[in-house]
Amino acid sequence: MMTYQETKQYLYDKLPMFQRIGGGAYKVGFENILLLSDLLNNPHQKLTCIHVAGTNGKGSTCHTLASILQEAGYKVGLYTSPHLKRFTERVRINGEEMNEEFVIHFTEKIKDFIETQKPSFFEVTTAMAFQYFFEQKTDINLIEVGMGGRLDATNIITPILSIITSIGYDHQQFLGDTLQEIAGEKAGIIKKNIPVVISDNQIEIENVFVEKAKKENATIYYQLQYKNNEKFKLFLNNFVLKGIYQQKNLQGILKASEILIEKNYKIDDEIIKKGLQNVIKNTHLKGRWQILEENPLIICDTAHNEQGIKEVIKQMNDLSATKIHFILGFVKDKDLQKILNLYPQNAIYYFCNFDSPRCLENKILQDEAKKQGLEGSIYDNVNVAIEIAKSSIQKNEIIFVGGSNFLIAEINNL
């Protein structure tokens, strides 16, 4: 029997992992996940699930709804990706990470399948999550789509509710070059007779969701019913996640909570309030407008695509700092010029490497940034960059760390 470390290494070595190698790990279609589920006696068919897709906000939405349901006394499974520090972060029950012993036994059980079928890392972790939730007898599970929706390995479930968060440009090589095409892939999680909540009212793609919902006879909840409503403001004030972009997510979270109440889940306003206050405590969510230190102010955020970065920079500007120190690292497959164009020129930049084959080399990043008028030095490690930024910071200046999940994952005091 392998140890946990050996098991984890085996999975990393054997399975193509999108987080490490990018597009080469992306498996289209359901053949592997259905064969694997069949081998396990289809645990996903015995679970009660909420399915969440979207470009930005799906992780926060999953964690927040999990927190609300925990406060209501339910045993709540939470499956999200990628992980930041530990592999077991991907699968949690009431905030507790998946048991390492389970990872060992599960991997042993499906080893022959791995050797013969060569599934992707995501297909295996999805099946692992379903099996874990089934064995642990969860009451309800929040399942985050890995990429897209229509062809995602998680899309074999029949949920009680689907949620689609904000749509933006990301992974265009797989999902399409237009917002309509990307929305079409996300709309793939809309199922026959299952209600769907659309968190962000994006007029230009509304028709995509409306048509798919009509086709599936799924009730669609679209309108931003809470905007400027006193109750919404009260909930927003209690929401521990302080990114401005969380307001869009909150619309969907509140609507989803209403639907769950209609389905006889024991949720009320007080429980929602507690759930919003305790998201981080209950689920250990990291990297969403996270304040690492107060003095000097150091913030990190995992926003890594055009839409997410735009929102983050808008919020940075609202802080009225005299200068911002941006510590950045990116993966190779981003539209770099489009992204760098979003950053202000009157800031100090620290361009970092991180430990991943997909890391865009800091020197290349520095050269590309220079073309956009962004000046800065290069560093091999994010923690070194943070310390140097702290040593040179003046009064009313702030430090921001972002650009990639990988970079955030390497922060020591995350």
User: Residue 26: its pLDDT value, please?
Assistant: 53
Question: What is the rounded distance in angstroms from the CA atom of residue 374 to the CA atom of residue 364?
Answer: 13
Token pair in block for residue 100: 């390492």
365-408: pLDDT as tens digits: 999 999 999 999 999 999 999 999 999 999 999 999 999 999 99
Q: Is the link from the previous residue into 82 a cis peptide, with omega within 30 of 0?
A: yes
- Which domains, ranges and CATH numbers included, belong to the chain? 4-283 (3.40.1190.10), 290-409 (3.90.190.20)
- DSSP letters, 219-264, are -EE-S-TTTT-HHHHHHHHH-S---TTHHHHHHHHHHHHHHHHHTT
Token pair in block for residue 41: 């006696």
Per-residue CA distances from 91 to 98, 100, 126, 414 (Å): 5, 11, 9, 19
Calculate the average pLDDT of the chain. 93
255-296: pLDDT as tens digits: 999 999 999 999 999 999 999 999 999 999 999 999 999 999
Question: What is the rounded distance in angstroms from the CA atom of residue 391 to the CA atom of residue 383?
Answer: 12
User: Could you tell me which of 249, 170, 179 has the C-alpha nearest to residue 209?
Assistant: 179
Question: What is the rounded distance in angstroms from the CA atom of residue 79 to the CA atom of residue 63?
Answer: 9
pTM above 0.75, yes or no: yes
305-361: pLDDT as tens digits: 898 999 999 999 999 899 999 999 999 988 898 999 999 999 999 999 999 988 999
88-102: pLDDT as tens digits: 999 999 999 999 999
pLDDT exceeds cutoff 50 at 23: no
Q: Hey, is 149 helix, strand or coil?
A: coil
Q: What is the mean pLDDT of residues 130-151?
A: 96
Q: Do residues 242 and 300 touch, judged by C-beta distance below 8 A?
A: no
Pick the range with the lowest mean pLDDT from 25-34, 219-228, 325-334, 374-383: 219-228
